[in-house]
Each structure stands twice: as C-alpha cells, then as structure tokens.
C-alpha cells in the first residue's frame, strides 16, 4: 500500500475527488496518509479533517524564498514516508531539491492542455482567462509528473472539454474540473499506485 501525501493551497475539490475515489475503491493500492497546506485556514484542510486524514500547515509566507520553503516541504515528505506526492491545487513552485529527491513520484494537475497556457504565472483562474482571451475552442486538464521546470514534466493523462461562446473563466474552470480533473487525477493516482506508469525516454506510458 503506497503512502499518498497531497499538497494543497485552496478549496481542495481535487483533494475531495481523491478522498472519494479512495473510499469507493477507485484508487487501488494507495491511501492518503497526510495533507499538507501552504496556507492556513483553507477549506482543503477541513476536507481532510472531516475524513480523519492527518494535516500539516507549512505556510509559504513564513519562508523567505522558494529554496528554504522547498527544504521544509522535503523534510515533511520524508517524515511522512511519502511514496507519491500529489499537487492538488498547490500554488507554489517547488525547488529542484524536492523534484529531484522525488523524481517521477510527484503528480500535478494543471487546468489546461499542456503545452498551452502553462508555466510560471499560469495557475487557477488565470489559466482559463488566458484560454478564453486566445479564443481556443477546446481546453482541458493535464495530469503530469513534476520536474524542475514548471508544468514541463512527463504527461500521464489529458482530457478535453469544448469551450462555449459565452464561457466565463469560472464556468470554463468548473466544466474542466467536473469533466476532467476530478476523474483523471484519481485515475492517474491509481495507475501510479499499481506501478502501471512506465517512463521511456522521458515520456510516461500507461502499462
């Protein structure tokens, strides 16, 4: 059974999808053993507590830079004996001290079709604002491994939705969450926990 540590910064709907998937048996061979938040008082922490999952808060604002923050996260991940780290709406870019120690063991959900609308500065609603401003006709979400470059690690799963003429960033965000993120993130986590993702030449393939 693999220890899954979930990192959050906000409302935690993706965390909820993981909790529900664990309960209903969709996630095989893994359990969420800890939730770490970069902010105090976020609703994701309540979701964890409501489900008896231990929580830790490591506030980003208490650290001067990304390197010192990442060291604190690395220490916590090691203490928690994490086999898999899931970034579920985690809004901080982790330094390579974490990404190299947990190479191909950190999974992120990004709310666009990478390589579009991604990288530093593209997070949350900003991603959907950019997609609408560009006028794309489909968007979606990407589940990928995390490496030292923002949103550039090997892609595990992607799913699409249509963009409608009257969409607002909020409406598009919700459609992508409901139809793609909340389904594909638990699926990718389950595949990982069953050792069903292989890396060949830096790319991820489902066995």
As annotated, the active-site residues are: 110
Rounded Cα distance, 128 and 143, in Å: 17
| Interface segment toward ligand GAR; rule CB under 6 A; list 28-36, 74-82, 107-115, 158-166 | 107-115
Angle between the N-to-C axes of helices 13-23 and 182-193, in degrees from 0 to 180, rounded to the nearest 10 = 50
Of 14, 37, 99, 190, the one binding ligand GAR by CB under 6 A:
14
* Residues found in the chain: 207
Contact status: 123 vs ligand GAR (CB under 6 A): yes
The first and second tokens of residue 44, run together, are 């994701």
Q: Which stretch binds ligand GAR (CB under 6 A): 8-16, 57-65, 186-194, 195-203?
A: 8-16
Q: What is the CA radius of gyration of the chain?
A: 16
Q: CB of 200: closest distance to ligand GAR in angstroms? A: 26
The stretch near ligand GAR (CB under 6 A) out of 23-31, 32-40, 108-116, 197-205 is: 108-116
Q: Are 36 and 58 in contact (CB under 8 A)?
A: yes
* Residue 169 Cβ vs ligand GAR, minimum distance, rounded to whole Å: 11
Pick from 130, 133, 127, 135: nearest CA to 180 = 127
Residues lying near ligand GAR in the complex (CB under 6 A): 10-14, 44, 88-89, 109-111, 123-124, 127, 173, 177, 181
């Amino acid at each position: 059974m693999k220890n899954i540590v979930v990192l959050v910064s906000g409302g935690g709907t993706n965390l909820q999808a993981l909790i529900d998937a664990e309960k209903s048996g969709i996630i095989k061979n893994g359990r969420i053993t800890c939730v770490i938040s970069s902010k105090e008082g976020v609703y994701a922490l309540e979701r964890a507590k409501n489900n008896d999952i231990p929580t830790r808060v490591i506030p980003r604002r208490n650290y001067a830079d990304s390197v010192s923050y990442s060291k604190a996260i690395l220490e916590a991940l090691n203490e928690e004996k994490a086999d898999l780290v899931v970034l579920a709406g985690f809004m901080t870019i982790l330094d390579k001290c974490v990404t190299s120690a947990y190479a191909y063991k950190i999974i992120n959900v990004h709310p666009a079709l990478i390589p579009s609308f991604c990288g530093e500065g593209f997070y949350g609603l900003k991603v959907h604002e950019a997609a609408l401003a560009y006028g794309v006709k489909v968007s979606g979400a990407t589940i990928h491994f995390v490496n030292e470059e923002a949103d550039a690690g090997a892609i595990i799963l992607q799913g699409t939705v249509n963009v409608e003429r009257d969409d607002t960033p909020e409406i598009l965000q919700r459609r992508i969450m409901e139809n793609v993120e909340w389904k594909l993130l638990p699926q990718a986590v389950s595949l990982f926990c069953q050792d069903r993702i292989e890396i060949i030449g830096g790319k991820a393939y489902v066995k």
